Amino acid sequence: MVQKPGDALEIRSEGDIVNVRKTIREATTAMGFGLTDITRIVTAASELARNIFHYAGTGTAYWFILEENGQRGIELIFEDHGPGIPDVEKAMEPGYSTGGGLGLGLTGSKKLMDELEIRSEIGKGTVVIVKKWLKK
């Protein structure tokens, strides 16, 4: 798999979430994603960036253009050094929330993207990786 790096996007404020949305919209548009997939990707990016801001306070989003077996896509990585997720399986249940929200951030992102992976350690932080592939 070939990864072409995009930008590292710091998440420290509500305004940074807007910047993540804008940057990912521009990247996916330039890559040739259709409007529906752009909306899905941007929505997932927004939810995951908001999770960082809400639960960890600060973190970083990274994006990469992927090329694998003649197929192109985008990979988004959201990383924080917050409290971690005590029970990832439970966190992936629709409606589960520890912060009083609707509990749709992680599960919604999984539905919007083609792939989702979560790595989390209590007291060390969380990494969420999502991918969306261009349809041929």
pLDDT in tens, 40-90: 999 999 999 999 999 999 999 999 999 999 999 999 999 999 999 888 888
pLDDT band at 102 (very low <50, low <70, confident <90, very high): very low
| C-alpha to C-alpha distance for 108 and 88, rounded to whole angstroms | 14
* CB distance 85 to 128 below 8 Å: no
Q: Is 132's pLDDT higher than 60? A: yes
Q: Is 99's pLDDT higher than 80? A: no
> Considering only 1-5, 10-14, 71-75, 114-118, which range has the smallest mean pLDDT?
1-5
| Mean pLDDT computed over every residue of the chain | 89
Task: Give SS3 for 85.
Answer: coil
Helix pair angle (35-51, 105-112), 10° resolution = 150
Give the residue ranges of DSSP H helices in the chain. 14-31, 35-51, 88-91, 105-112
pLDDT value at residue 88: 86
Q: Is 2's pLDDT higher than 80? A: no
- What are the boundaries of each domain within the chain? 2-133
pLDDT value at residue 103: 44
| C-alpha to C-alpha distance for 26 and 4, rounded to whole angstroms | 16
Q: To which CATH superfamily is domain 2-133 assigned?
A: Histidine kinase-like ATPase, C-terminal domain (3.30.565.10)
CA atoms within 13 A on the CB side of 17: 15
